């Protein structure tokens, strides 16, 4: 299935030209980086969980603010959420070491509720549970579905780069691949939630529209307390880009 999808989306490995670093790696040195596209329970899911655990879960400002010392339950959440996502990976020439990855998929009116259900039913650690509730609040309270009058949009759930490969434009390249993937599947909007200033700048340079930043403390639980207490300057900014697609029936209910 993914071989057909890969061939459809990537008839050649030549990327968009203005990504000069990736163009150099893939065109001039075709074996330096390997591009892999996968979805769901594919063979790359386990190493994606490992990669995101070592990078995203350790470096993301919101995860760090949550003060979670044991990542076991968050790894389980990653494992579960990746089952419904498409992922684009860049690896070394042998395809063994992940250098960067981005995973995304459709968001509908039920997505946030499904995240909350997982938090309540499958998570015992209170800090991990509150973090997932926070992520659900960011998804629901941006209200993009109603703001943009669309039944679904494509959301980048996770994006991370290995420390030694940062500042080389890999995040921008991966975002471009998801933009292409979302367009091919007919989704009208690509969305990205940013807590990282560098990623926010990348989104702006790529033509994403940014909603006003919102303090992390403003996302509240039913009792009126912040899901996660953090420094006042820590904000979540939602970016989106219109793609103009029309959702195909095969993907509407994903």
Give exposure, 146-161, as e/b (b: 16+ Cβ within 10 Å).
eeeebebbbbbbbbbb
Mean pLDDT of 50-59: 94
- pLDDT at 197 > cutoff 60: yes
Q: Which CATH class is domain 2-242?
A: alpha beta
Mean pLDDT of 67-85: 93
| The three-state (H, E, C) secondary structure of 139-182, written as one string | HHHCCHHHHHCCCCEEEEEEEEECHHHCCCCHHHHHHHHHHHHH
| Structural domain boundaries in the chain | 2-242
- pLDDT at 16 > cutoff 50: no
The secondary element (H helix, E strand) that includes residue 138 is helix 126-141
What confidence score (pLDDT) does residue 188 get? 96
pLDDT tier at 94, thresholds 50, 70, 90: confident
Token pair listed for 204: 């702006």
Which range, of 19-23, 162-166, 181-185, averages the lowest pLDDT? Answer: 19-23
Mean pLDDT of 231-250: 76
Under 8 Å between Cβ of 48 and 55: no
The secondary element (H helix, E strand) that includes residue 241 is strand 235-242
- pLDDT at 166 > cutoff 80: yes
The 10s digit of each residue's pLDDT in 96-155 is 999 999 999 999 999 999 999 999 999 999 999 999 999 999 999 999 999 999 999 999
What confidence score (pLDDT) does residue 234 get? 87
What confidence score (pLDDT) does residue 246 get? 57
Q: In sequence order, what are the residues at sequence separation of 6 or more whose Cβ sits closer than 8 angstroms to the Cβ of residue 198?
A: 171
Mean pLDDT of 29-37: 70
What confidence score (pLDDT) does residue 21 get? 38
Of 76, 145, 87, 79, the residue nearest 112 (C-alpha): 145
């Amino acid at each position: 299935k993914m071989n057909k999808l890969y061939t459809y989306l990537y008839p050649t490995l030549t990327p968009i030209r203005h990504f000069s670093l990736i163009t150099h790696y893939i065109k001039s040195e075709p074996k330096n980086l390997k591009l892999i596209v996968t979805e769901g329970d594919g063979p790359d899911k386990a190493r994606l969980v490992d990669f995101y655990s070592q990078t995203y879960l350790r470096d993301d400002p919101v995860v760090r603010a949550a003060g979670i010392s044991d990542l076991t339950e968050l790894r389980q959440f990653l494992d579960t959420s990746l089952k419904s996502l498409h992922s684009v990976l860049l690896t070394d020439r042998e395809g063994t070491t992940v250098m960067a990855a981005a995973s995304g998929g459709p968001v509908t009116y039920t997505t946030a509720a499904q995240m909350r259900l997982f938090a309540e039913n499958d998570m015992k650690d209170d800090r991990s549970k509150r973090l997932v509730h926070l992520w659900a609040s960011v998804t629901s309270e941006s209200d993009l579905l109603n703001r943009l009058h669309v039944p679904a949009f494509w959301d980048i759930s996770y994006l991370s780069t290995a420390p030694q490969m940062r500042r080389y434009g890999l995040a921008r390249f991966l975002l471009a691949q998801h933009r292409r993937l979302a367009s091919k599947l007919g989704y009208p909007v690509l969305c990205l939630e940013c807590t990282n200033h560098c990623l926010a700048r990348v989104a702006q340079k790529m033509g994403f529209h940014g909603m006003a930043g919102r303090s992390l403390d403003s996302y509240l639980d039913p009792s009126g307390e912040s899901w996660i207490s953090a420094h006042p300057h820590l904000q979540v900014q939602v970016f989106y880009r219109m793609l103009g697609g029309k959702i195909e029936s095969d993907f509407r209910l994903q």
